[in-house]
């Protein structure tokens, strides 16, 4: 018996929203606790800052770069199965990492496997929200992103508590059980009815005489479909946004990785250092829903791209506070200011992507978007670690973060403004052509008869535009 489909904006949509909120807390919130283990991992494996930084960079890179594979799985099996598979992979990776004897083993288990599983769970949750919510999509994205804030609040506190009694190996083993909750969240994702037109089935083409070329063509079509290279080529807004966010990711995760070691280096005790990340998360729990409510209002709907750029700019400027002082009270103020801009970034990053790309191509666009972001996330922490090893000064890490964020904000804001002016110019030219074509018809009393004999070229041109 076929299962009944849930309708968009229905009552079950809020259950799905809760599942997405918990999933984002388990996945996006987890990298915030890596800084708690940074010193212990560095000591146990006798590694440098750069070598230890590869662990969080691989984890965050896979969290983003698993998007294309997640898009394929979502298209083939649906969001429910993909999210549950991600929970199993994340759990297996953390359990295996507790038995790691070298940093290379930690890279593969807690970095690659866990990151890939988190990517499946996180991105399938983002995708299903776009289908379950239409009228309240901005609010739904904001409430779901509050889950990552909840995770940022709880993961460091839980990590600090377990680390004192069990060490990092026992803590990672328990984390493996925690990630199984993604399977419970995935079970709540019922199929939903969409307004997309069904795909027409065509008769299969005749077998090719050159199977090698046919196979390559099929692979090329699959890659283009799931990685949305056609959107990157023809949608200038998507191209600008993807490149800008990729550059932004080079600086955005650095405070999450290095804030706790930075505070401990300057005399702040371990518990207070872990509390700094929790302050950021706790503030975002309240700020993100407020930001979502504001961004969903009609006056702000047309300016979400520029508000996102403003949030990235403020985030980069806020990081300069850490270069001035490392006093605990100053760092608390920094965390509060950082939370304001971070709430804007977290609320708008996927909403802007939904505004730029239609929902029928969103999974593919999200796949390419996240894999490019993953490349940036893979490079960023080791690059900062090399800078820290060379200078032995954490201030340069925050300078580096601010540079990437500020330059990305200026690039995206300027490009969006230029594209908007270009589009307005095209519309004005098209309207002028329509008026010019309509003027002879208004002056000619036999306009209808004349238009049949002499078709207007300007009208044909405007229609094609």
DSSP-derived 3-state class of residue 213? helix
Q: Structural domain tally of the chain?
A: 1
Task: Reply yes or no on whether the pLDDT at 401 is more than 70.
Answer: yes
Higher pLDDT, 180 or 71: 180
Task: Reply yes or no on whether the pLDDT at 416 is more than 60.
Answer: yes
Within a domain: 288: yes
**Cα distances (Å, whole numbers) of residue 210 to 213, 222, 436:** 6, 19, 54
Residue 184's pLDDT is what? 92
pLDDT digits (tens, 9 = 90+) for 368-399: 787 788 888 888 888 888 888 888 888 899 99
Higher pLDDT, 455 or 294: 294
Task: Reply yes or no on whether the pLDDT at 121 is more than 70.
Answer: yes
Within a domain: 209: no
Cβ atoms within 10 Å of 243's Cβ, excluding its own: 16
Residue 259 lies in domain: 12-194+225-424
pLDDT digits (tens, 9 = 90+) for 249-282: 999 988 888 888 888 888 888 888 888 888 888 8
Within a domain: 265: yes
Distance CA 280, CA 245 (A): 21
Task: Reply yes or no on whether the pLDDT at 407 is more than 90.
Answer: yes
Asked if residue 61 lies in contact with residue 374, where contact means CB atoms within 8 angstroms, the answer is yes
Binning the chain into helix, strand and coil, the percentages to the nearest 5 are: 80, 0, 15
Residue 270's pLDDT is what? 80
Within a domain: 450: no
Task: Reply yes or no on whether the pLDDT at 320 is more than 60.
Answer: yes
Query: pTM score, two decimals?
Result: 0.69
Higher pLDDT, 115 or 136: 115
Asked if residue 45 lies in contact with residue 103, where contact means CB atoms within 8 angstroms, the answer is yes
Q: What is the mean pLDDT of residues 149-165?
A: 87
Task: Reply yes or no on whether the pLDDT at 326 is more than 50.
Answer: yes
pLDDT bracket for residue 1 (50, 70, 90): very low
Within a domain: 316: yes
Residue 153 CA, chain-centre distance (Å), reads 19
Asked if residue 159 lies in contact with residue 278, where contact means CB atoms within 8 angstroms, the answer is no
Task: Reply yes or no on whether the pLDDT at 139 is more than 70.
Answer: yes
Beta bridge partners of 287: none
pLDDT bracket for residue 89 (50, 70, 90): very high
Cβ atoms within 10 Å of 103's Cβ, excluding its own: 18
pLDDT bracket for residue 175 (50, 70, 90): very high
Within a domain: 208: no
Q: What is the DSSP string of 287-305?
A: HHHHHHHHHTSHHHHTTHH
pLDDT bracket for residue 210 (50, 70, 90): low
CATH number (domain holding residue 335): 1.20.1250.20
pLDDT digits (tens, 9 = 90+) for 25-74: 999 888 888 888 888 888 888 888 888 888 888 898 888 777 778 878 88
Within a domain: 202: no
Q: What is the DSSP string of 297-346?
A: SHHHHTTHHHHHHHHHHHHHHHGGGGGT---HHHHHHHHHHHHHHHHHHH
Residue 436's pLDDT is what? 75
pLDDT bracket for residue 183 (50, 70, 90): very high
Percent share of the chain, pLDDT over 90: 21
Higher pLDDT, 198 or 405: 405
**Cα distances (Å, whole numbers) of residue 443 to 147, 149, 437, 448:** 64, 65, 11, 12
Distance CA 93, CA 114 (A): 5
Residue 450's pLDDT is what? 46
pLDDT bracket for residue 456 (50, 70, 90): very low
Q: What is the DSSP string of 367-390?
A: HHHHHHHHHHHHHHHHHHHHHHHH
Within a domain: 157: yes
pLDDT bracket for residue 461 (50, 70, 90): very low
Contacts of residue 115, Cβ cutoff 8 Å, sequence gap at least 6? 58, 59, 60, 61, 62, 63, 66, 93
Distance CA 295, CA 351 (A): 9
């Amino acid at each position: 018996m076929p299962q009944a489909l849930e309708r968009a904006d229905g009552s079950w949509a809020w259950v799905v929203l809760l599942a997405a909120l918990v999933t984002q807390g388990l996945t996006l919130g987890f990298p915030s606790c890596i800084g708690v283990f940074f010193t212990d991992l560095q000591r146990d494996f006798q590694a440098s800052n750069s070598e230890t930084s590869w662990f969080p960079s691989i984890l965050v890179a896979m969290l983003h770069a698993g998007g294309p594979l997640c898009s394929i799985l979502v298209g083939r099996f649906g969001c429910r199965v993909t999210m549950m598979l991600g929970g199993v992979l994340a759990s297996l990776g953390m359990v295996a990492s507790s038995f790691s004897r070298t940093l290379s083993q930690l890279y593969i288990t807690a970095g690659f496997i866990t990151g890939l599983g988190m990517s499946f769970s996180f991105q399938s949750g983002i995708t299903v929200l776009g289908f379950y919510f239409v009228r309240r999509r901005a609010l739904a994205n904001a409430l779901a992103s509050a889950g990552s804030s909840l995770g940022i609040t709880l993961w460091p506190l839980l990590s600090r508590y377990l680390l004192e009694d069990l060490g990092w190996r026992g803590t990672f083993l328990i984390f493996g059980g925690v990630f199984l909750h993604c399977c419970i969240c995935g079970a709540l994702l019922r199929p939903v009815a969409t307004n997309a037109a069904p795909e027409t089935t065509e008769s299969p083409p005749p077998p090719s005489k050159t199977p090698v070329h046919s196979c390559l063509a099929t692979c090329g079509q699959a890659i283009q479909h799931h990685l949305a290279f056609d959107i990157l080529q023809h949608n200038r807004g998507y191209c600008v946004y993807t490149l800008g966010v990729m550059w932004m990711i080079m600086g955005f995760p650095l405070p999450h990785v290095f804030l706790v070691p930075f505070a401990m280096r300057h005399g702040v005790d371990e518990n207070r250092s872990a509390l700094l990340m929790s302050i950021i998360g706790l503030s975002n729990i309240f700020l993100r829903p407020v930001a979502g409510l504001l961004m969903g209002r009609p006056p702000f709907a047309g300016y979400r791209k520029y508000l996102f750029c403003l949030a990235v700019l403020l985030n980069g400027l806020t990081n300069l506070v850490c270069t001035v002082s490392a006093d605990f009270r100053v760092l608390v103020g920094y965390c509060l200011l950082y939370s304001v801009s971070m709430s804007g970034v977290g609320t708008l990053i996927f909403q802007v992507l939904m505004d730029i790309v239609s929902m029928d191509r969103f999974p593919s666009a999200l796949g390419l978007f996240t894999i490019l972001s993953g490349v940036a996330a893979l490079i960023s922490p080791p690059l900062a670690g090399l800078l820290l090893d060379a200078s032995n000064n954490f201030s340069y890490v925050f300078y580096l973060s601010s540079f990437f964020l500020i330059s990305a904000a200026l690039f995206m804001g300027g490009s969006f403004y230029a594209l908007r002016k270009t589009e307005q110019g095209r519309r004005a030219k098209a309207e002028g052509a329509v008026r010019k074509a309509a003027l002879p018809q208004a002056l000619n009393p036999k306009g209808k008869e004349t238009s049949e004999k002499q078709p207007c070229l300007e009208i044909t041109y405007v229609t094609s535009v």
